[in-house]
Amino acid sequence: MFPAIVRKLFIQAFTWLILAGSLGKASAANDPYDFNPRCRKAYELIMAMRVQEAQQLLAEERKQHPENLIPVLLSNYADVITLFFDGHAADYQQKLVLRNARLDALSKGSRDSPYYLLTQAIVHFQWSLLKLKFGDRISAAWEFRRAYLMFQENQHRYPQFYPNQIFLGAIKTVLGTIPAGYRWVSDILGLKGNVQQGMQMLKQVIAKGSDQEILFGNEAYLYYCYLMFYIERKPDEVFQFIAEQHLDTENNQLYAFMVANLALNHHRSAYALQVLENRNRRWPYVPMPSIDFELGTAYLNSLQTDSAIKYLQSFLQHAQSDYFKKDAWLRLSWAYQLQGNRDMAEQCRRRVLQVGNAVVDADKAALMQAQKNISTDVRILRARLLSDGGYFQQALQELSRIDPSSLPDYLNKLMYAYFMGRIYDEMGQPDKAIPYYEATIQAGSHLPEYYAARAAWQMGMIYEKRHQPEKALYYYNLCLQMPEKEYKNSLDQWAKAGIARIQATP
């Protein structure tokens, strides 16, 4: 039917296709960076805090494909997730040995693959965060620098390799908030950032599809939400994004934690409670005492003191790290004060002085308040908690019952002015908020309490939204100049981000 030469060419072509297919399969089987369906599933389970299930899949993968280096990377993910949320110093030292062995294994992979630098950079990046958490700050800084330079080099070599953009985008966004006066330090270290460029890199990756379709997609969503919330200051857009992406807060404990954490920081305690209480409890999640802390805080903000005490005590009983323990004891003191139990409130205040550390801003603030031993007027305390929870009308009713001239000391008067400003601000009435913020700044600008600095930052936000950049810059810089000691790191970061946003606007 066909000429002999055609038959011969057809047979040769068919044979070549079969061989090519076989060679392709052999190549995939021997791929040192095979992010196959089993590895993808393990990654998703780790990022859902279901590490035990993930480790079973990784054991199977190592047995069937011992040459695959992706399980080496994912094993580091499992350790980092566990250490970061429920780790003890002894566990940290033990896992540090495994970090070195994993980096050694990854360094022996194919230098011609975009995964070669990526996988090592991720390990360095993750351990920079862990070292910072466990107080090894100098080593954390060098680890972070190593990660950044590897991501940067990989981006130069493989500009279309989108997984690299997830991590580099997040890093560039954070580095972009360094104020001009300190950029010489980052320049010496070779660290350069830009908020708009970094966020655009993340957006380009997210536009590719859902986290089931994007490699490292869970992290893309996490970084994007936190950075849009804290750096770009677009909380409403964050919650809209979460809803549009249908993030599975029921079966993914890390998503549940993130959404509740952001909700608590945006005066949405009722939403945080809904997310946390609706988690699927059937899965063997990594223990996460911080969720009990969030539940205790959310219940306290709604003045449900019995539930608040239950979860805050659970957090203090199970948390291995010393972070947020002072804050938790202070909140327990508030809960007992609201119940009228002065003895227990005083016992908890003393525990603030004795337990935990004062590294994070919340613990610093708790320690300073406990040291002053100035009792907050219970009406102001109720208003503060209700305001934190988003129950603004109820909070305003509490403060409306107070004659500020009758308050016994400077701190209660300062708190009254500040919370009146915050409540009106959050209710969308900035014109009513501004006089209270100005009074707070005038009365507290020389004090170590955070109220005046926070009021200055809020004023900066008001004028930035009103497109009055000069006034906004004035108040952001005023915030940076304040001597407050409680939330200095957080407020300075927010103020620097505000300055960076304004300076980047044409």
Residue 346 within any structural domain of the chain: no
pLDDT digits (tens, 9 = 90+) for 222-261: 999 999 999 898 999 999 999 999 999 999 999 999 999 9
pLDDT digits (tens, 9 = 90+) for 56-78: 999 999 999 999 999 999 999 99
Tell me how far apart the alpha carbons of residues 38 and 57 are, in angstroms, rounded to a whole number. Answer: 7
* pLDDT tier, 10 (very low <50, low <70, confident <90, very high otherwise): very low
The CA distances from residue 485 to 329, 480, 491, in Å, are: 19, 11, 10
Residue 140 within any structural domain of the chain: yes
Q: What is the 3-state secondary structure (H, E, C) of 292-361?
A: HHHHHHHHHHCCCHHHHHHHHHHHHHHCCCCCCHHHHHHHHHHHHHHCCCHHHHHHHHHHHHHCCCCCCH
pLDDT digits (tens, 9 = 90+) for 334-351: 999 999 999 999 999 999
* pLDDT tier, 422 (very low <50, low <70, confident <90, very high otherwise): very high
Long-range contacts of 416-420 (CB under 8 A, 24+ apart): 416/380, 417/443, 417/451, 418/444, 418/451, 418/452, 418/454, 418/455, 419/380, 419/383, 419/384, 419/387, 419/395
Taking Cα atoms as reference points, which of 218, 258, 252 lies closest to residue 238? 258
* pLDDT tier, 419 (very low <50, low <70, confident <90, very high otherwise): very high
Residue 163 within any structural domain of the chain: yes
Residue 360 within any structural domain of the chain: no
Comparing 66-75, 365-374, 433-442, the range with the smallest average pLDDT is 365-374
Please name the residue that has the structure tokens 């038959």. 7
pLDDT at 34 over 80: yes
**Full residue range of the structural domain in which residue 67 is found:** 36-267
C-alpha R_g of the chain: 26
Residue 345 within any structural domain of the chain: no
pLDDT digits (tens, 9 = 90+) for 255-297: 999 999 999 999 999 999 999 999 998 889 998 999 999 999 9
pLDDT at 7 over 50: no
* pLDDT tier, 189 (very low <50, low <70, confident <90, very high otherwise): low
pLDDT at 35 over 90: yes
Residue 166 within any structural domain of the chain: yes
Phi, psi of 285 (to 5 degrees): -75, 155
* b/e sequence 221-239, b meaning 16+ C-beta within 10 Å: bbbbbbbbbbbbbebeebb
- The answer to whether the CB of 332 falls within 8 A of the CB of 348 is yes
Mean local confidence (pLDDT), 107-112: 93
CATH number at residue 110: 1.25.40.10
Residue 224 within any structural domain of the chain: yes
Residue 286 within any structural domain of the chain: no
Tell me how far apart the alpha carbons of residues 353 and 368 are, in angstroms, rounded to a whole number. Answer: 9
* pLDDT tier, 457 (very low <50, low <70, confident <90, very high otherwise): very high
- The answer to whether the CB of 358 falls within 8 A of the CB of 367 is yes
- The answer to whether the CB of 36 falls within 8 A of the CB of 64 is no
* pLDDT tier, 9 (very low <50, low <70, confident <90, very high otherwise): very low
Length reported for the chain: 506
- The answer to whether the CB of 422 falls within 8 A of the CB of 385 is no
Tell me how far apart the alpha carbons of residues 352 and 205 are, in angstroms, rounded to a whole number. Answer: 44
- The answer to whether the CB of 402 falls within 8 A of the CB of 411 is no
Q: What is the 3-state secondary structure (H, E, C) of 214-253?
A: CCCHHHHHHHHHHHHHHCCCCHHHHHHHHHHHCCCCCCCH
pLDDT at 184 over 70: no
Tell me how far apart the alpha carbons of residues 200 and 69 are, in angstroms, rounded to a whole number. Answer: 30
Element spanning 264, H or E: helix 253-264
Mean local confidence (pLDDT), 343-367: 92
Please name the residue ranges forming H helices in 88-161.
89-106, 114-133, 137-157
pLDDT at 105 over 90: yes
* pLDDT tier, 175 (very low <50, low <70, confident <90, very high otherwise): confident
What 3-state DSSP class applies to 187? helix
Instruction: Kindly give the interhelix angle for 89-106 and 70-86, rounded to the nearest 10 degrees.
Output: 160
Mean residue pLDDT of the chain comes to: 88
Element spanning 63, H or E: helix 51-64
Q: Which two tokens stand for residue 129?
A: 């965060």
What's the pLDDT score for residue 93? 87
What's the pLDDT score for residue 210? 54
CA dihedral sign, ordered 75, 78, 81, 83: negative
Mean local confidence (pLDDT), 139-155: 94
Please name the residue that has the structure tokens 């139990």. 341
Work out how many domains the chain is built from and give that number: 1
Please give the distance of CA 177 from its chain centroid, rounded to a whole number. 16
pLDDT top residue among 55 and 361: 55
Tell me how far apart the alpha carbons of residues 476 and 30 are, in angstroms, rounded to a whole number. Answer: 55
pLDDT at 1 over 70: no
Percent of the chain scoring above 90 in pLDDT: 71
Q: HSE (CB half, 13 Å, CA atoms) of 16? A: 6
What's the pLDDT score for residue 263? 97
Please name the residue that has the structure tokens 């957090």. 315
Q: Judging by beta carbons within 10 Å of its beta carbon (0-12, 13-18, 19+), is residue 79 exposed, middle or buried? A: buried
Q: What is the pTM of this model?
A: 0.84
Mean local confidence (pLDDT), 27-53: 87
pLDDT at 23 over 80: no
